[in-house]
Structure 1
């Protein structure tokens, strides 16, 4: 019964992402006077896709804030997928060999309090260091684009590349982040259903 309820909720969630000819997002760009259809990440087959109408009557500042959130969630999801697959393969940091993977690590209480403190401190430090990249200072954000956390210090040759190359790399990151968000959600659902061995190889 529980599995049927989960399956039904997943089907309902997937239906919400079905493309619609009369999309609210089409009018949102007209009302705000901003055309988001040329933004990075808008591509076939869905094109500009805003089924929830989050950009209804939005300006560029709101779009940039939502894009920043999307990029950050995508990066976290990519780390989560890699981390899950790594621990599922039995790889651990020295001293953490006894900590189980997945939800079992949280349920067992095997993670030491010091590790939680280090985690919270690291996230807080990263947010403080990168806050200027997402906040407009004197009308201009510090980063070149939402999610640019170089903070004027890191480059790795980015500024030497063409605009087309940069756009391509940003599109790749967005797509990988979107796939990872769906991927980690799927892994979490399958773990709760108890069929991870059927989904992940090597079991």
Structure 2
């Protein structure tokens, strides 16, 4: 009987542990902390939603976009509004690279190659690589045929641009700061201040650049897939 009573007591205790709890003084205290403040306990801070620039209406009039849950986690739970600014700068740079890739891929497929416009016959004299040789290839094969030294030059040019953004603010290098401007919260924006045509930068132009970059990222992925695996993209292409 004693064993049976102990078992029943354990079952009742276990079932109580999984039963819905009723509001207690502890939860009331927690709610009080969110509205009141004492000298010992600060107010509980709830982060506001960080808007995502470039989020277009998906359903109705609200700005709903794919990946919104991840955006909220990265900007509200794991990071801050400065995290969102960095993510937008990264998207902007990836979009610009994709737009350049789309233009290069299309020109190669349409036959507008450097062997017809360059005064030099060779891409690399030391490696004996001619522009005409690359023109006879597809885009993927031409990319693979570029010598390692060529990619080193591309990497050096990109690194120079990134280092410039890391070390400069408002067009001036910052020497007396312990942390580089680009490594500070919100330091990287993708805006290098290079505008030789003096184009007026508006919100509409910024939005169009992001949207064109997104379209270019999809396009280059589809084109590379179609080139590597013929028939993998069931869409008509212009070549």
Shift of 1:75: 0.5
In structure 2, the residue matched to 1:103 is: 140
Computed over aligned residues only, the root mean square deviation of the Cα atoms, in angstroms, reads 2.9
- In structure 2, distance between residues paired with 1:120 and 1:92: 22
- In structure 1, distance between residues paired with 2:202 and 2:213: 16
In structure 2, the residue matched to 1:25 is: none
Question: Do the aligned partners of residues 48 and 135 (structure 1) sit closer, same or farther apart at CA in structure 2, a change above 3 Å counting?
Answer: farther
For these two proteins, the number of residue pairs brought into alignment is: 158
In structure 1, the residue matched to 2:96 is: 75
In structure 2, the residue matched to 1:172 is: 208
| Greater relative contact order (CA < 8 Å, ≥ 6 in sequence) | 1
Question: Do the aligned partners of residues 140 and 41 (structure 1) sit closer, same or farther apart at CA in structure 2, a change above 3 Å counting?
Answer: closer
Pairing partner for 2:56 from 37, 43, 52: 43
Preserved contact between residue 75 and residue 177 of structure 1 (Cα < 8 Å): yes
Residues 137-188 of structure 1, C-alpha deviation per residue, up to 9 Å, x if partnerless? Answer: 5x674x7xx22111xx646445xx5xxx611111101100111111111111
Pairing partner for 2:223 from 179, 187, 191: 187
Pairing partner for 1:66 from 87, 95, 102: 87
Shift of 1:116: 2.1
Pairing partner for 2:157 from 115, 122, 131: 122
- In structure 2, distance between residues paired with 1:140 and 1:180: 26
TM score, norm. by length of structure 2 = 0.56
Question: Rg bigger for which structure?
Answer: 2
Shift of 1:101: 3.2
Question: Do the aligned partners of residues 155 and 184 (structure 1) sit closer, same or farther apart at CA in structure 2, a change above 3 Å counting?
Answer: same
Residues 32-82 of structure 1, C-alpha deviation per residue, up to 9 Å, x if partnerless? Answer: 623333x42022125243245143123111101111111000110111111
In structure 2, the residue matched to 1:135 is: 182
TM score, norm. by length of structure 1 = 0.65
Shift of 1:114: 3.0
Unaligned stretches of 5+ residues in structure 1: 1-30
Question: Do the aligned partners of residues 65 and 127 (structure 1) sit closer, same or farther apart at CA in structure 2, a change above 3 Å counting?
Answer: same
Shift of 1:86: 0.7
- In structure 1, distance between residues paired with 2:152 and 2:198: 35
Shift of 1:121: 1.6
Preserved contact between residue 32 and residue 59 of structure 1 (Cα < 8 Å): no
